[in-house]
Copies of this chain bind each other. A is one copy, B any other.
Amino acid sequence: MEIASIITIGDEILIGQVLDTNSSFLARALEEEGIHVGSMISIGDNEQQIEETLRKELSAKDIVIVTGGLGPTKDDITKKVLFRLSGSKKWVEHPGQLEMVHLILRSRGLDVLPINLAQAQVPDKAEVIVNKKGTAPVMVFRSSEGKGTLYSLPGVPFEAVGAIPDVMADIRSHNSLASITHRSVMVYGIAESSLSEMIASWEDALPSDMHLAYLPDPLTGIRLRVSVYGGDKEKNEKRVDAQLAGLKAILGNLIYSLEDSSLQKSIGEILKERAETISAAESCTGGEIAHLITSVPGSSAYFLGSVTSYAISVKEKVLGVPSSVIEKYGVVSAEVAAAMAEGVRKLTSSDYAVSTTGLAGPGGDGINPEGTVWIAVTGPRGTRTVRYSYKNDRARNIQRFAASALNFLRLYLLEGE
B29 contacts A24, C-beta separation under 8 Å = no
The closest CB in chain B to the CB of A223 belongs to B17
Tell me if A42 counts as interface (CB < 8 A to partner B).
yes
- With A and B bound together, what is the CA distance between A24 and B393 in angstroms? 19
Tell me if A55 counts as interface (CB < 8 A to partner B).
no
- Chain A 149-166 interface mask (CB, 8 Å, partner B; 1/0): 000000000100000000
- Chain A 301-320 interface mask (CB, 8 Å, partner B; 1/0): 00111111111011001100
* Copies of chain A in the complex: 2
Residue among B42, B286, B392 making CB contact with A290, cutoff 8 Å: B286
Which residues of chain B are near A39, meaning CB under 8 Å? 14, 41-44, 49, 53
Q: Knowing A41-B40, A49-B38, say if A291 contacts B291 (CB, 8 Å).
A: yes
A318 contacts B347, C-beta separation under 8 Å = yes
The closest CB in chain B to the CB of A283 belongs to B305
A311 contacts B305, C-beta separation under 8 Å = yes
- Chain A 11-49 interface mask (CB, 8 Å, partner B; 1/0): 001111111110111111111000001111111100001
Which residues of chain B are near A27, meaning CB under 8 Å? 13-16
Tell me if A348 counts as interface (CB < 8 A to partner B).
yes
Minimum C-beta distance from A118 to chain B (A): 19
- With A and B bound together, what is the CA distance between A304 and B291 in angstroms? 18
The closest CB in chain B to the CB of A314 belongs to B305
- Which of A64-72, A253-261, A292-300, A404-412 makes up part of the contact surface? A292-300
Q: Knowing A16-B31, A17-B28, A300-B310, say if A295 contacts B305 (CB, 8 Å).
A: no
Residue among B16, B29, B391 making CB contact with A29, cutoff 8 Å: B16
Tell me if A289 counts as interface (CB < 8 A to partner B).
yes
Chain A interface SS verdict (over half): mixed
Which residues of chain B are near A43, meaning CB under 8 Å? 38-39
B318 contacts A310, C-beta separation under 8 Å = no
- With A and B bound together, what is the CA distance between A15 and B38 in angstroms? 9
Q: Knowing A294-B286, A295-B286, say if A314 contacts B304 (CB, 8 Å).
A: yes
Tell me if A203 counts as interface (CB < 8 A to partner B).
no
Tell me if A351 counts as interface (CB < 8 A to partner B).
no
Which residues of chain B are near A305, meaning CB under 8 Å? 307-311, 314, 318
B394 contacts A295, C-beta separation under 8 Å = yes
- With A and B bound together, what is the CA distance between A287 and B19 in angstroms? 25
Among A215, A286, A361, residue most surrounded by chain B Cβ atoms (within 10 Å): A286
The closest CB in chain B to the CB of A363 belongs to B297
Minimum C-beta distance from A364 to chain B (A): 13
Which residues of chain B are near A394, meaning CB under 8 Å? 295, 297
Which residues of chain B are near A158, meaning CB under 8 Å? 392-393
A308 contacts B287, C-beta separation under 8 Å = yes
The closest CB in chain B to the CB of A289 belongs to B287
Q: Knowing A19-B24, A40-B14, say if A348 contacts B294 (CB, 8 Å).
A: no
- Chain A 48-74 interface mask (CB, 8 Å, partner B; 1/0): 010001000000000000000000000
